[in-house]
Structure 1
């Protein structure tokens, strides 16, 4: 039975009863989450389950308030709830393909624990309360921002969750302000920011996130499966099909600025496999892929075109810039030691660029391939560029008469 007391005409729910109800709801959500997501192990769902478990453990620790265990249980409860709040933020970050190391959650919860310990938790359930409320507000605010800007899976769901997290953060901000101005024992604080109103806000947040978890988890899993289908499993770069699709779209969008294209081929790659084994060849491919991604911008498109051949599209880049990037990639690769200290193979490059009038990706690849063939013929380990003026003249000559 839920106990109530009357204070000047106001009904105040018994904190123990409120926390029991909240604990049962959290436990129910954990069971539902585990049952409905047995075959869906998305990062978002995993973080959310950790958050629920931390909330349950923190709520259980708060149930020990008023007992001999309060001096340690109360600070522990605050630390667990803060860690759970930041788990919501960590889960939201996975929707943007960002990671949070578990140690950060411990670091975020330690200040609340320490503040509560040094503030006489044995005599006050609100020891370290301002730090606890401030950290909870911060965690919910960060979660709301991550959900709002979750571009890969932006939808009405993430906007809805962002608003819920934002409103909960705003409530905790007002709760902290009332804590400072009125005190935790005041009628204003007890009526609007006490255990019962806070539990209601918790329930709204928990139910809102739980009700949408499967949908967001499915979207995240589908996105990851699509990315795996578009990626080369060895190097992690785009595969040929994905490159052609993305590069064609990027080339059309970058028409006012033009673009440059680099075609690269590892020299004497077959000899590496024959003499040192396929493991050495795989290491060379991975090392070259790493050198590429370290040398280009986030807007550039890099792919394994096939075998030991790679292709890069650099929107807005000039011919000179593309040739400089090719040289930079070779420099990075040469500075990297292979298995057992063996040097990696050298690389030959064919580079071309285009103005605003030439936007045919297949034509650019053919021109770069011819330049690459010339680099091989000249002795390998070099960058050969196709003059942009010659490219445009060849494109004009190849067009059928109107």
Structure 2
């Protein structure tokens, strides 16, 4: 016996509600990941949107049908936003609202009181595009991001293609045509959506936990104020890099940088001004060095850099570029950004490990401060400076 569309939609709503409750209480409340939040939002929008379609054929159809279109397209936008959150900032509000807004306007002007497919082509097109964009975001993740993101990307791609097929059949065969009714109508779509939601929800739970794990790992290695490596993460990575460089016979330079008279900035302009100065210097460093260089916040107003393949004299030039970029960046909080003192040491200066190189750079930094600050001093072999 073939179930009617209304019965299938009620069944889909029950499945959707069950998944929403399970996903919210088991996954979202445990991980608080952006991905799980967006997926909960998508499930809620799909639930309410499909419920709105149950009013088709009643006096409420004039508003419920456009509302259903808007809510389902908003759910597809949430799928895109969730997939994007795994690798980049979520879309801006206007980007998320654009699709639902367009389909709402089109549906309202397409006689929704008498036409249950009001705004149908626009609705189908936006569902295909937004779900397809979500599939693309998943494909752009690193191959080893998780075990499930590639299969999920394929599944989302298939769903996007299915909506594209619905659009083509709608435009060529019409909503009452045999092809559309048999393969792409409301009943087949409801069954397909039910299966997709169940399968996707279980794979998305794993992605939510993976996002939480990566976020915790990033917080453990990144300085929250500047976005650079924190001290422990830098020392771990620099130690490994130094061992690799010595195996290959490659030199490197280590720089310790200290913002001059930093306490005065905090005393005169407040800690927010000090934070602004630290962020400006971090930006100057990130904008000057290469992506293969290591840059970290060593503590307070001190920063540390490891530059593989760079001689001390080249490192001195790099410090000049950093200071110039810092002063050119300006600040709305501080009248003038501070100058910077640098201590530079070569990894070829002696047989010691990273601690010895850092100690040499620290001695050179102390010498730079003694000489009047706002300069770079290179530690020479034997502990002298120049």
Q: Is 1:86 the equivalent of 2:80? A: no
Equivalent of residue 375 in structure 1, options 344, 348, 368: 368
More displaced, 322-331 or 25-34? Answer: 322-331
CA distance in 2, matches of 1:252, 1:139: 47
Q: Is 1:107 the equivalent of 2:101? A: no
Deviations 1:255-293 (A, max 9, x none): 698755432111233454566665554443333224333
Q: CA deviation at 1:121?
A: 2.4
Equivalent residue of 2:132, what SS?
helix
Equivalent residue of 2:338, what SS?
coil
CA distance in 2, matches of 1:242, 1:207: 40
The match for 2:256 is: 263
Q: Is 1:159 the equivalent of 2:150? A: yes
The match for 1:192 is: 183
Residue 142 and residue 259 in structure 1: after superposition, are their counterparts in 2 closer, same or farther (change >3 A)? farther
Equivalent of residue 209 in structure 1, options 188, 200, 206: 200
The match for 2:20 is: 30
Equivalent residue of 2:304, what SS?
strand
The match for 2:57 is: 66
Residue 33 and residue 328 in structure 1: after superposition, are their counterparts in 2 closer, same or farther (change >3 A)? same
Q: CA deviation at 1:247?
A: 3.4
Unaligned runs of at least 5 residues, structure 2? none
The match for 2:340 is: 347
Q: Is 1:19 the equivalent of 2:31? A: no
Q: CA deviation at 1:165?
A: 0.7
Q: CA deviation at 1:253?
A: 7.2
The match for 1:397 is: none
Q: Is 1:43 the equivalent of 2:34? A: yes
The match for 2:331 is: 337
More displaced, 157-166 or 228-237? Answer: 228-237
Q: CA deviation at 1:43?
A: 0.7
The match for 1:120 is: 111
The match for 1:224 is: 215
The match for 1:305 is: 298
More displaced, 23-32 or 244-253? Answer: 244-253
The match for 1:55 is: 46
Q: CA deviation at 1:228?
A: 1.6
Deviations 1:29-52 (A, max 9, x none): 111122213333111111111111
Equivalent residue of 1:263, what SS?
strand
CA distance in 1, matches of 2:321, 2:254: 15
Equivalent residue of 2:31, what SS?
coil
* 1:95–1:153 contact (8 Å) kept in structure 2: no
More displaced, 132-141 or 109-118? Answer: 109-118
Equivalent residue of 1:156, what SS?
coil
Equivalent residue of 1:91, what SS?
helix
Paired residues, what number?
376
CA distance in 1, matches of 2:100, 2:309: 46
Equivalent of residue 66 in structure 2, options 49, 70, 75: 75
CA distance in 1, matches of 2:310, 2:352: 14
Residue 15 and residue 258 in structure 1: after superposition, are their counterparts in 2 closer, same or farther (change >3 A)? farther
* 2:8–2:191 contact (8 Å) kept in structure 1: no
* 2:135–2:154 contact (8 Å) kept in structure 1: yes
Unaligned runs of at least 5 residues, structure 1? 5-10, 395-402
The match for 2:161 is: 170
Q: CA deviation at 1:204?
A: 2.4
* 2:146–2:210 contact (8 Å) kept in structure 1: no
TM (normalized to structure 2)? Answer: 0.84
How big is the alpha-carbon RMSD for the aligned residues of Structure 1 and Structure 2? 3.2
Equivalent residue of 2:303, what SS?
strand
